[in-house]
């Protein structure tokens, strides 16, 4: 990843960005993003960390009392205003055939990567 | 001329006799047919008896099953009500106890301040001892408050586990794997990812947790590489690369 071109646009990265661009203003936590991107759970944290490092994503802790809710806090992610624009440009530049995306998606959802 | 009526009468008598014989034969045939029909009907009835018995037995069983089903439904409803009432009572008790502990901690803090003022003002040994004792008591009260908070958290977690089935405490193996994965990360990032991974473990259905933990472990080194190459803002969150 370079500062000029943003993160390396691997297929999982593209899937995450497409999932987040579907509703750019909405905050999502890791599992939600994984489901929306159709990636196996537990595989997306390096991608999220990379995107956050580039400034394309912002994250924050959920503002709840874990004792009252009965579960730990979620870490919510959202595309930053610049990030959404960068992501759109980067995805437009990368021409991944949709057939290839859907073929690889099946493998990624099974945790192949 | 006298022979004609006699011959006619004889002929009529003969005809009548023949008709009687025919009628008797027909009656006999009918009686026989009737008897045969009755016999057949009896045979059919005999054949139907076990079939009817077999049909009635499942019906009786079905009625019993329905009764049992209703009884089980009622028992379930009672059990749910009871569990709900117990949960409510526990939650109320715990909340009450926690509030009391918080109030007690506040009172002790005030008492400590007063005792310190006394010790400073009059330099009395007893007041100093009192202040020390109150400090210890306050420390105990804080621990008690934390314990109550923890108990409330566990209570809500247990209730959610009973209700949803998916938000239960993760098993030892997935938790261990997640801890291992977190230890591979830079020290400053460990608390964040530990909490994040734990939350996701809790929210996943039970059968997906082990796979999740294994995948987290498999990707931990990649995550570490990303995190070690990231510049930080003063508050510790990742800085934009363009700003580096």
Q: How far apart are CA B35 and CA A38, in angstroms?
A: 81
Average of per-residue pLDDT values in chain B: 75
ipTM value of the model?
Answer: 0.82
Token pair belonging to A10: 């691997």
Average pLDDT rounded to a whole number, residues B158-168: 54
> What's CA B138's distance to the chain center, in Å?
42
* Confidence check: pLDDT of A77 > 50: yes
pLDDT of residue B192: 94
Average pLDDT rounded to a whole number, residues B20-37: 85
Q: Collect all residues of chain B within an 8 Å Cβ-Cβ radius of residue A1.
A: 241
pLDDT of residue B242: 39
* Confidence check: pLDDT of A95 > 80: no
Q: What is the pLDDT of residues B205-220, one digit of tens each?
A: 989 999 999 999 999 9
Q: Collect all residues of chain B within an 8 Å Cβ-Cβ radius of residue A66.
A: 153
* Confidence check: pLDDT of B115 > 70: no
pLDDT of residue A1: 42
Average pLDDT rounded to a whole number, residues B32-57: 79
In the 8-state DSSP scheme, what is residue B168? Answer: S
B192 neighbors B154 (Cβ within 8 angstroms) = no
Q: How far apart are CA B151 and CA B144, in angstroms?
A: 10
Q: How far apart are CA B241 and CA B44, in angstroms?
A: 95
Cβ of A72 and B198 within 8 Å? Answer: yes
* Confidence check: pLDDT of B133 > 80: no
- Would you call A55 helix, strand, or coil by DSSP? coil
Question: Residue A61: enclosing H or E segment and its boundaries?
Answer: strand A57-61
Share of chain A above pLDDT 90, in %: 57
Total Cβ atoms within 10 A of residue B138? 19
* Confidence check: pLDDT of A112 > 80: no
Q: How far apart are CA B221 and CA B219, in angstroms?
A: 6
| CATH architecture, domain defined by A11-107 | Orthogonal Bundle (1.10)
Nearest C-alpha of chain B: how many angstroms from A77?
A: 12
Best probe of the A interface among B196, B206, B209, B243, by most A CBs < 10 A, is B196
Q: What is the pLDDT of residues B51-99, one digit of tens each?
A: 777 767 767 777 777 776 676 666 666 666 666 655 665 665 666 666 6
Choose among B192, B204, B242: nearest Cβ to A41.
Answer: B204
Q: Collect all residues of chain A within an 8 Å Cβ-Cβ radius of residue B227.
A: 49
Q: How far apart are CA A71 and CA A31, in angstroms?
A: 15
Cβ of B199 and A54 within 8 Å? Answer: no
Q: How far apart are CA A67 and CA B157, in angstroms?
A: 8
Q: How far apart are CA A22 and CA A50, in angstroms?
A: 20
Q: Collect all residues of chain A within an 8 Å Cβ-Cβ radius of residue B243.
A: 55
pLDDT of residue B149: 64
Q: Is the pTM of this model over 0.80?
A: no
Measured between CA atoms, the residue of chain A closest to residue B199 is A72
B180 neighbors B217 (Cβ within 8 angstroms) = yes
In the 8-state DSSP scheme, what is residue A58? Answer: E
Choose among B219, B226, B230: nearest Cβ to A42.
Answer: B219
Choose among B196, B202, B241: nearest Cβ to A55.
Answer: B241
Cβ of B211 and A52 within 8 Å? Answer: no
Token pair belonging to B210: 């082990």
Share of chain B above pLDDT 90, in %: 21
HSE-up of residue B18 (Cα within 13 Å, Cβ side): 6
pLDDT of residue B238: 58
Computed on alpha carbons and rounded to an integer, the radius of gyration of chain B in Å comes to 48
- CA B133, B138, B143: angle at the middle one, nearest 5? 130
Q: What is the pLDDT of residues A25-74, one digit of tens each?
A: 899 999 999 999 999 988 999 999 999 999 999 999 999 888 888 888 99
Token pair belonging to B239: 């800085």
Average pLDDT rounded to a whole number, residues B87-116: 66
Cβ of B223 and A49 within 8 Å? Answer: yes
Cβ of A3 and B202 within 8 Å? Answer: no
Measured between CA atoms, the residue of chain A closest to residue B230 is A53
Nearest C-alpha of chain A: how many angstroms from B134?
A: 28
- The torsion of the CA quartet B105, B141, B198, A18, rounded to 10 degrees, works out to 10
Q: Which residue has the higher pLDDT, B107 or B218?
A: B218
Q: Collect all residues of chain B within an 8 Å Cβ-Cβ radius of residue A63.
A: none
Of the candidates B82, B195, B232, B97, the one whose C-alpha atom is nearest the C-alpha of residue A66 is: B195
pLDDT of residue B171: 87
* Lowest-confidence region among A60-69, A77-86, B122-131, B134-143: B122-131
């Amino acid at each position: 990843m370079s500062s000029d071109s943003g993160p390396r646009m691997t297929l999982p990265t593209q899937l995450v960005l497409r999932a987040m661009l579907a509703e750019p203003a909405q905050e999502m936590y890791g599992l939600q993003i994984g489901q929306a991107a159709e990636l196996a759970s537990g595989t997306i944290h390096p991608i999220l960390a990379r995107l956050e490092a580039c400034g394309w994503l912002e994250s924050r802790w959920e503002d709840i009392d874990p004792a009252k809710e009965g579960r730990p806090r979620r870490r919510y992610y959202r595309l930053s205003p610049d990030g959404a624009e960068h992501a759109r440009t980067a995805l437009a530049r990368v021409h991944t055939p949709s057939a290839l995306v859907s073929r690889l998606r099946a493998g990624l959802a099974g945790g192949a990567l | 001329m006298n022979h004609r009526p006699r011959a006619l009468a004889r002929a009529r008598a003969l005809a009548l006799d023949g008709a009687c014989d025919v009628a008797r034969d027909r009656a006999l045939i009918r009686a026989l047919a009737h008897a045969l029909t009755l016999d057949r009907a009896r045979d059919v009835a005999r054949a139907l008896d076990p079939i009817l018995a077999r049909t009635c037995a499942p019906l009786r069983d079905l009625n019993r099953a329905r009764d049992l089903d209703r009884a089980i439904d009622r028992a379930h409803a009672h059990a749910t009500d009871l569990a709900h009432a117990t949960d409510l009572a526990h939650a109320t008790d715990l909340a009450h106890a926690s509030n009391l502990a918080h109030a007690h901690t506040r009172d002790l803090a005030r008492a400590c301040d007063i005792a310190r003022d006394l010790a400073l003002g009059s330099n009395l040994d007893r007041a100093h001892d009192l202040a020390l004792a109150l400090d210890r008591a306050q420390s105990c009260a804080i621990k008690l408050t934390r314990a109550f908070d923890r108990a409330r958290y566990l209570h809500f977690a247990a209730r959610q586990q009973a209700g949803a089935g998916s938000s239960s405490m993760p098993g030892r193996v997935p938790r261990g794997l997640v801890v291992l994965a977190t230890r591979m990360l830079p020290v400053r990032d460990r608390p964040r990812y530990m909490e994040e991974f734990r939350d996701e473990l809790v929210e996943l259905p039970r059968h997906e947790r082990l796979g999740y933990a294994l995948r987290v472990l498999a990707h931990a080194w990649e995550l570490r590489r990303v995190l070690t190459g990231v510049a930080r803002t003063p508050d510790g969150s990742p800085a934009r690369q363009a700003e580096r």
